[in-house]
Structure 1
Amino acid sequence: MFFSIVIPTYNRLPILQKCLTALERQTLTDSKVTGYEIILVDDGSTDGTLDWVAQNQHQLPHVQTFAQEHQGPSAARNLGVQKAQGDTIIFIDSDLVVTEQFLQAHADALVKGKKQLGSDRLFTYGWVINTCNFENPTSEPYKITDYSAAYFATGNVAIAKKWLEQAGLFDTRFQLYGWEDLELGVRLKKLGLKLIKCPEAVGYHWHPPFNLEQLPRLIDREMQRGRMGVLFYEKHPTFDVKMMIQMTQLHRILWGLLSLGGTLNERTMAPLLQWLINQGKPQLALEIARIFLNWYNVKAVYQAYSDRHKQISIS
C-alpha cells in the first residue's frame, strides 16, 4: 500500500515543524508499505508556513504543499484527498507529533484487520495522547482523559481512498468548529466499514497549557460546535446524533445543574481556575472549566436549533 498523509494546517507553524519532521523519520520494516507522501494543505495561513516548507524542502522530501483561501478543515482535507496519489489516506492534524513506527503500525493493523474480517471495509484509528510539552511532546504518558469513543475522527485515522470517495468526502458546509469528521463517519458506517483500534500508531496532540486568556476562544469554539451540531442533526436526525451533539433534556439538566444555571462561569470561577494554574495543575483547571464550557455548548445547540426552525417557518 502507498500512504498519502493528508494534513490541513492554519497558522500552526511552530508545532507543524515538529509534525513534519517526525513524519520524515518513519521506519518501515517490511514491504507492506511501498512508500508514502505528505500532502500539506495550507488553509490560508499568515504565519509563513509555505515559505518555511519551501526553504526546508531538502529536509522534507515527502512533503507536497497545496494552498487555498481560508475555508476550514473540511475543504482542506477534500483538496488533500483529491491531490493524493496513494491508495490509502491517513488523516492527522498539524499539531500532532507521531512516533517512528506510526506508518508501519497502521499498515500492520490494516492488513491484520482485513484478514480477520475477510473484507477491506475497515479503517484504523490510532491513539491520540494530549500533551502540553512542546519541547518533548512524545514523552507524555497515556491518560484516561485521552480515551475517545468516536467512530471516525481525523486526528489519527487510516482509510482506503476509495471509501472516502464513495462516501462523498467531507461536507464543506461545516465551516465552523466541530463535527465534520463524525458526520462523514456516519456515512462510512452506512457503507459497512468497521473501526479497527490501533494503539501502536501513536500521535501526540500538542496544545499550549491552559490559561485564563484562552477562555473567550474556548467559549466561542463551543458555540460554533453547537451551531455545527445542528447541521449534523439535520443531515442525520437520529437519537445517536442528538446524544453526540448534546441536544437532549439530559444534557440540558446535567450541565445546567453542574453550572448552577450558568452561575458558575468564566468570571465566577476565574479565581479557582487561576489558583489551580498557579499550583501547576492547568489540565485540572481546564477539566473544571469544561463544566461551564459544556453549558455554553448546550445553550448554543438549542439556540441554533430554534433559529433554524424560525428561518424555515418564515421561508
Structure 2
Amino acid sequence: MNKEKWSVVIPTYNRLPILTKCLRSLENQDFEQEYEVIVIDDGSTDGTVEFLQTHTNEFPHVKLFQRDHQGASIARNTGVEVATGEIILFIDSDLVSMPGSLTAHARALEGQDKAFTYGRIVNTSNFDDPTSEPFTLTDVSNAYFATGNTAIAKHWFIEAGGFDPDFKQYGWEDLELGVRLKNMGFKIIKCPKALGYHWHPPFTMDEVPKLIDVEKQRGRMGAIFYQKHPTWDVRMIIQMTWLHKALWGLLSFGGALNERSLKPILQFLIDRNRPQLALEIARIFLNWYSVQAVYDAYAQASQTKPTSQSATS
C-alpha cells in the first residue's frame, strides 16, 4: 500500500455513548499507515467535549475541534480543513468500524485517481454488541456517495467544492456532493471488507415526534437539492414526483393513517419485541410527512425565487 496519511473525519452532536464505541473501534485498527481521527463537535450539550478532553490517553489518535451547532455539512468541511492527511475517510459518529476497515479502504483506493470507496454498513439497534448483527437485504444501499463510511483524496474533495453549507438541516448534503462528483467523472469503488455497524436506538413511540421532525427536515432539504440540480433523478431521490405523492397518499389514506391512528398497533408490536416491524409500518406516515414537506418547501421557494424549471404535482 501507499504511505499517505489518512484523516478520519467525524462530526458529532450529542451522541457521546455511541461515539465512544465509534472511537474505540478506530483505535483498534490494524492499519500500518499513519492516521488521525478528527472529531468535530457541533455544539454538543451532553458532555462530549469534557469526556474527550479528560480521556486523551484512551484515544491517542483523536484530535478534538469545537464549533457552534451549524449542521453536519459545515462540521465535515471544518474537519477537512484542519485534517493533515492526504486521504479523508468520512465516518458517522454512530458507526462502529471493524478492525480491518481502514486497511480495506486503503487497498481499494491504491492506484486509483478519480475514485472514492464506499464501505459496507450494517444497521443495528444492539447497543451492547452492535457488531453481532448480520448483513441483510435492508442494509443494501444504492447511494452513489454517502458519508457513513467513505474515503476520498482530500484534494479531490476540495476541488469538488466540499459539502454545500446550504444544507443546514437533516438530509441530502452527501448525495448532493455525489451529483457533483459524478459529473466530474468519479468512480465509486464498493468496499465490502471496510465493514461498519451503524447503530440506531430501537424504535419506540417516544421516538415518533423526532422521526417526524427528521422527515420534515429531509423534505425541506430535498427542495434545496432539487433547486441546485433540477433533474428527474433528483426528483426520484427526494420523492418529489406524482408517483410518490400518490403512493404515500394512498397508503396513508391521505394522512388518516398517522402517528395517532396507528399508535395502538405500533405499541402492540413494540410490546411484543417487534420494534423493527413497527418502524416499517410507521414509515407509511413518515414518508407522507416527507413528501408533503418537500412539495411545501419547493412551492414556498418558487414564490420567493424563480427557478428555471417548475415542479409538477
TM-score, normalisation: structure 1: 0.94
- In structure 2, the partner of 1:107 is 106
Matching of residues 78-157 of structure 1 within 5 Å: 78-111=77-110, 114=111, 119-157=112-150
After TM superposition, give the deviation of residue 34 of structure 1 in Å: 2.4
Matched, 1:2 2:2: no
Amino acid at match of 1:18: K
2:155, 2:305 → 1: CA distance?
A: 36
- In structure 1, the partner of 2:24 is 21
- In structure 2, the partner of 1:208 is 201
- In structure 2, the partner of 1:74 is 73
Q: How many residues align?
A: 303
1:34, 1:206 → 2: CA distance?
A: 27
Matching of residues 214-253 of structure 1 within 5 Å: 214-253=207-246
Amino acid at match of 1:27: D
2:79, 2:38 → 1: CA distance?
A: 6
- In structure 1, the partner of 2:309 is none
1:59, 1:257 → 2: CA distance?
A: 52
Matched, 1:294 2:268: no
CA-to-partner distance for each residue in 1:89-114, whole Å, 9 max, x for gaps?
00011111111111011111112xx4
- In structure 2, the partner of 1:166 is 159
Matched, 1:12 2:15: yes
SS of alignment partner, residue 271 of structure 1: helix
TM-score, normalisation: structure 2: 0.95
2:137, 2:205 → 1: CA distance?
A: 24
SS of alignment partner, residue 130 of structure 1: strand
Amino acid at match of 2:106: A
- In structure 1, the partner of 2:172 is 179
After TM superposition, give the deviation of residue 247 of structure 1 in Å: 0.5
2:132, 2:104 → 1: CA distance?
A: 19
Matched, 1:263 2:262: no
1:97, 1:57 → 2: CA distance?
A: 19
After TM superposition, give the deviation of residue 54 of structure 1 in Å: 1.4
Unpaired stretches in structure 2, ≥5 consecutive residues: 307-313
Percent sequence identity over matched residues?
61
Amino acid at match of 2:11: P
2:58, 2:245 → 1: CA distance?
A: 51
After TM superposition, give the deviation of residue 312 of structure 1 in Å: 2.8
2:19, 2:174 → 1: CA distance?
A: 21
Unpaired stretches in structure 1, ≥5 consecutive residues: none
SS of alignment partner, residue 59 of structure 1: coil
CA-to-partner distance for each residue in 1:209-262, whole Å, 9 max, x for gaps?
000111111111111111100100011111100100101001011111111111
- In structure 2, the partner of 1:41 is 40
1:305, 1:173 → 2: CA distance?
A: 15
SS of alignment partner, residue 89 of structure 1: strand
1:190, 1:104 → 2: CA distance?
A: 28
SS of alignment partner, residue 190 of structure 2: strand
2:185, 2:305 → 1: CA distance?
A: 33
1:306, 1:60 → 2: CA distance?
A: 48
SS of alignment partner, residue 36 of structure 2: strand
After TM superposition, give the deviation of residue 199 of structure 1 in Å: 0.7
Aligned partner of 1:195 among 188, 192, 209: 188
Amino acid at match of 2:213: D
SS of alignment partner, residue 305 of structure 2: helix
- Return structure 1 stretches of 4+ with deviation > 2 angstroms: none
CA RMSD of aligned residues (A): 0.9
